Chain A
Amino acid sequence: MTNFTINTKSVSFDGDENTPLLWVIRDALNMTGTKFGCGIGQCGACTVHIDGRARRSCITPVSTVDGQTITTIEGLAAPDGELHPVQQAWLEHDVPQCGYCQAGQIMATVDFLKRYPKPSDEDIDNNMTNICRCGTYVRIRKAIHRAAELNAPGEDS
Chain B
Amino acid sequence: MSAVADKVGMTRRRFLIAGSGVAGSLVLGLPAFAGAPLDSDRLIGFFVQIETDGSVIIGSNQPEIGQGVRTALPMLVAEELDVDWSMVSVRQMPLGIVKTADGYDWKYGVQGVGGSTGLTENFDHMRQVGRTARGQLIKAAAKRLGVPEEQCSTRPGVVICSALGTEIPYGELVSEASRLPLPAESPALKSIDDYRIVGSRQKTIDARDIVTGKTRYGVDTVAAEMRYAVIARAPVLNATVRSFDDRDARKVAGVLDVFEIKGPELDAPYLILASGVAVVATSTWAAMQGRDALTIEWNESPNANDNSQAFWRENENALKEKGQVVLDDGDFDAAMESAEKVVVRQYRVPFVSHAPLEPQNCYAFVEEDRCHIIAPTQSPSGSSRSAAAVTGLPRENIRVDMTRVGGGFGRRLTTDYVAEAAMVSKHTGWPIKLQWSREDDVKNDFYRPGGLHEMHAGVNGNGEITAWAQRLASASKYYRRPDMPDENLFGAELYVDDFPRRIIDNVRMEYFHNTIGLPRGSWRAPAHTANAFVIQSFLDEVAYETGQDSLQLRLKLLGEDRELEYGGHGGETFNPGRLSRLLTFVAEQIGYGQKLQQGRGIGIATHCTFGGYAAHAMEVTVADGKLRIERIVAAIDCGLAVHPNAVEAQLQGGTIDGISTALGLEITVENGQVQQSNFHDYPLAKIAAIPALFESHILPYDDKPTGVGEMGIPSAAPALTNAIFAATGIRIRSLPIAEQLES
How many A-B pairs have beta carbons closer than 8 Å: the answer is 193
B233 at the interface (CB under 8 A from A): no
- Which residues on A sit within 8 Å (CB–CB) of B690? 135, 137-138, 141
Q: Report which residue of A27, A72, A98, A121 has the largest number of chain B beta carbons within 10 angstroms of its beta carbon.
A: A98
The answer to whether B649 touches A94, judged by C-beta atoms less than 8 angstroms apart, is yes
A43 at the interface (CB under 8 A from B): yes
A74 and B678 in contact (CB under 8 A), knowing A32-B219, A137-B687? no
Residue of A nearest to B206 (CB): A99
A6 at the interface (CB under 8 A from B): no
Q: How many angstroms from the CA of A97 to the CA of B643 in the assembled complex?
A: 13
- Which residues on B sit within 8 Å (CB–CB) of A150? none
- Interface 0/1 of B215-252, CB less than 8 Å to A: 11101101000001000000000000000000000000
B547 at the interface (CB under 8 A from A): no
Residue of B nearest to A74 (CB): B213
- Which residues on A sit within 8 Å (CB–CB) of B405? 98
A125 at the interface (CB under 8 A from B): yes
- Interface 0/1 of B189-221, CB less than 8 Å to A: 000000000000001101110111111110110
The answer to whether A43 touches B687, judged by C-beta atoms less than 8 angstroms apart, is no
Q: How many angstroms from the CA of A135 to the CA of B406 in the assembled complex?
A: 13
The answer to whether B694 touches A73, judged by C-beta atoms less than 8 angstroms apart, is no
- Which residues of A, 15-37, contact B by the 8 Å Cβ criterion? 15-16, 19-20, 23, 26-28, 30-37
A59 at the interface (CB under 8 A from B): no
* Stretch from B394-402, B503-511, B653-661, B734-742 forming part of the interface with A: B653-661
- Which residues on B sit within 8 Å (CB–CB) of A83? 208, 211-212
A131 and B212 in contact (CB under 8 A), knowing A97-B67, A97-B653? no
Residue of A nearest to B679 (CB): A42
- Which residues on B sit within 8 Å (CB–CB) of A102? 210-211
- Which residues on B sit within 8 Å (CB–CB) of A76? 212-213
Residue of B nearest to A128 (CB): B687
The answer to whether B204 touches A94, judged by C-beta atoms less than 8 angstroms apart, is yes
Q: B358's contact among A23, A35, A130, A137, by CB below 8 Å, is which?
A: A35
Main secondary structure of the interface of A (DSSP, over half): loop
Interface residues on A, range: 35 or more
- Which residues on B sit within 8 Å (CB–CB) of A96? 66, 204, 206-207, 210-211
Residue of B nearest to A145 (CB): B692
- Which residues of A, 77-108, contact B by the 8 Å Cβ criterion? 77, 83, 87, 90-91, 94-103, 106
- Which residues on A sit within 8 Å (CB–CB) of B213? 31-34, 72-74, 76, 103
Question: Taking the nearest CB of chain B, how far is it from the CB of A146, in angstroms?
Answer: 13
Q: How many angstroms from the CA of A29 to the CA of B519 in the assembled complex?
A: 37
- Which residues on B sit within 8 Å (CB–CB) of A140? 687
Question: Taking the nearest CB of chain A, how far is it from the CB of B708, in angstroms?
Answer: 12
* Stretch from B21-29, B282-290, B458-466, B482-490 forming part of the interface with A: B282-290
The answer to whether B203 touches A38, judged by C-beta atoms less than 8 angstroms apart, is no
- Which residues on B sit within 8 Å (CB–CB) of A20? 285
Q: How many angstroms from the CA of A149 to the CA of B29 in the assembled complex?
A: 59
Q: Report which residue of B359, B437, B645, B687 has the largest number of chain A beta carbons within 10 angstroms of its beta carbon.
A: B687
The answer to whether A135 touches B654, judged by C-beta atoms less than 8 angstroms apart, is yes
- Which residues on B sit within 8 Å (CB–CB) of A152? none
- Which residues on B sit within 8 Å (CB–CB) of A42? 678-680
- Which residues on A sit within 8 Å (CB–CB) of B404? 98-99
- Which residues on A sit within 8 Å (CB–CB) of B68? 97
B696 at the interface (CB under 8 A from A): yes
- Which residues on A sit within 8 Å (CB–CB) of B64? 98
Interface residues on B, range: 35 or more
The answer to whether A100 touches B678, judged by C-beta atoms less than 8 angstroms apart, is no
A124 at the interface (CB under 8 A from B): yes
Question: Taking the nearest CB of chain A, how far is it from the CB of B689, in angstroms?
Answer: 8
Question: Taking the nearest CB of chain B, how far is it from the CB of A48, in angstroms?
Answer: 11
The answer to whether A135 touches B283, judged by C-beta atoms less than 8 angstroms apart, is no
A114 at the interface (CB under 8 A from B): no
The answer to whether B687 touches A125, judged by C-beta atoms less than 8 angstroms apart, is yes
B356 at the interface (CB under 8 A from A): yes
Question: Taking the nearest CB of chain A, how far is it from the CB of B736, in angstroms?
Answer: 16
A27 and B284 in contact (CB under 8 A), knowing A73-B212, A136-B649? yes
A98 and B407 in contact (CB under 8 A), knowing A32-B220, A38-B679? yes
The answer to whether B203 touches A94, judged by C-beta atoms less than 8 angstroms apart, is yes
- Which residues of A, 28-57, contact B by the 8 Å Cβ criterion? 28, 30-40, 42-43, 45
- Interface 0/1 of B688-714, CB less than 8 Å to A: 101010101000000000000000000
The answer to whether B359 touches A87, judged by C-beta atoms less than 8 angstroms apart, is no
Question: Taking the nearest CB of chain B, how far is it from the CB of A21, in angstroms?
Answer: 11
A151 at the interface (CB under 8 A from B): no
Residue of A nearest to B221 (CB): A32
A118 at the interface (CB under 8 A from B): no
Question: Taking the nearest CB of chain A, how far is it from the CB of B587, in angstroms?
Answer: 21
Q: How many angstroms from the CA of A20 to the CA of B64 in the assembled complex?
A: 30
Q: A139's contact among B212, B285, B435, B649, by CB below 8 Å, is which?
A: B649
Q: B357's contact among A34, A87, A90, A131, by CB below 8 Å, is which?
A: A131
B65 at the interface (CB under 8 A from A): yes
Q: How many angstroms from the CA of A45 to the CA of B254 in the assembled complex?
A: 26
Q: B686's contact among A38, A39, A128, A134, by CB below 8 Å, is which?
A: A128
A16 and B686 in contact (CB under 8 A), knowing A27-B283, A36-B219? no
A37 and B438 in contact (CB under 8 A), knowing A87-B211, A138-B694? yes
Q: How many angstroms from the CA of A141 to the CA of B204 in the assembled complex?
A: 18
Q: Can you pick out 27 interface pairs between chain A and chain B where the beta carbons lie within 8 Å of each other?
A: A19-B285, A26-B219, A26-B284, A27-B283, A27-B285, A28-B283, A30-B222, A32-B219, A35-B217, A43-B357, A83-B208, A90-B211, A91-B208, A94-B207, A96-B66, A96-B206, A97-B649, A99-B204, A99-B210, A100-B357, A128-B686, A128-B688, A130-B687, A132-B687, A136-B653, A137-B690, A141-B687
A23-B284, A27-B283, A131-B357 known; 18 new pairs, CB 8 Å cut-off, are A19-B285, A26-B220, A27-B285, A32-B216, A32-B220, A35-B357, A40-B678, A42-B679, A74-B212, A90-B207, A94-B203, A98-B408, A124-B688, A128-B686, A131-B679, A136-B649, A136-B653, A138-B696
Which 8 interchain pairs have the tightest Cβ spacing? A33-B213, A135-B656, A98-B66, A100-B406, A73-B213, A32-B220, A125-B688, A97-B66
